[in-house]
Amino acid sequence: MAATDQHGQEGISDYAPQRSGFFAPLRGNAGLIATALIAAGGLALGGFLLGDGLPRAKRSERAVTVRGVAERDVRADLAVWSLSFAGNAPDLASAQAQADANANAIRGFFREQGFPADALTTTGVNVSRESENKQVRYVVRQRMTLRTKDVARAETAGHNQFELVRRGVFLESGSKLTFIYTGLNRIKPDMVAQATKDARASAEQFARDSGSDLGGIRNATQGYFEVSARAGDASEGWGDAETPNKTVRVVTTVNYLLK
């Protein structure tokens, strides 16, 4: 609206500038207000997600670690008998003759025990010249090895080995009859499954006792397979390898989530 001043001239009313000046600050601050509202909303949403994430993180930490065990008694399927002996004499020929006599006595012993000739092989020969108090002696050492899958026959022969002593054969240190189980790969899958089943049973019991539900497997590790003498078969001075009766054992460690 135009107004007339005291001189009769038309001019701009003072009201219009005053109205324009009142809304100008509001328009100028509108961007800042919008930015503040967006920031506040983001903080609120972030706080909600953080607050919800903490319980979820805690839930993911609830777990139980258990061990499952599987054992199986097995029978060795391979026997290896290493026999060391020597001939000792002032001259090499006599020492060799003694060693040959021992070798023949050993072959005769195993033939009588029912083993075929090819079950026994010569696996090493050593000749040494020794001197003591200016006396020279020759030592001929020899090693023979019996290798057979007829474990029962080898076990019987082991019980009768003193017959070799009666025949004049002196077995040196290192002579030993050992029994080996070679079928580990055949029983591994079943034993792992058994150990895992045993671990789950323990985890389920723990979950029930704690008022939880058992979840999935978070991680798991399989231990080494151990082959040892069957309980009661190993005695002082005799190792795990010297009995044909074995126990195979494996321990599996499993980490389960709890819900």
pLDDT in tens, 205-256: 999 999 999 999 999 998 889 999 988 776 545 677 889 999 999 999 999 9
- The three-state secondary structure class of 74 is strand
Confidence of residue 257 (pLDDT cuts 50, 70, 90): very high
How does pLDDT run across 110-151, given as a tens digit for each residue? 999 999 999 999 999 999 999 888 889 999 999 999 999 999
- The three-state secondary structure class of 19 is helix
Tally Cβ neighbours within 10 Å of residue 132: 7
Q: What is the pLDDT of residue 26?
A: 47
Tally Cβ neighbours within 10 Å of residue 5: 8
Tell me the mean pLDDT in the region 163-185.
Answer: 93
Q: What is the pLDDT of residue 155?
A: 95
Q: What is the pLDDT of residue 34?
A: 57
Least confident of 48-62, 162-176, 183-197: 48-62
Q: How is residue 36 written in tokens?
A: 């503040």
Residue 40 phi/psi, 5-degree rounding, is -65, -40
Q: Cite the beta strand spans of 36-173 per DSSP E.
A: 63-75, 78-89, 120-132, 135-148
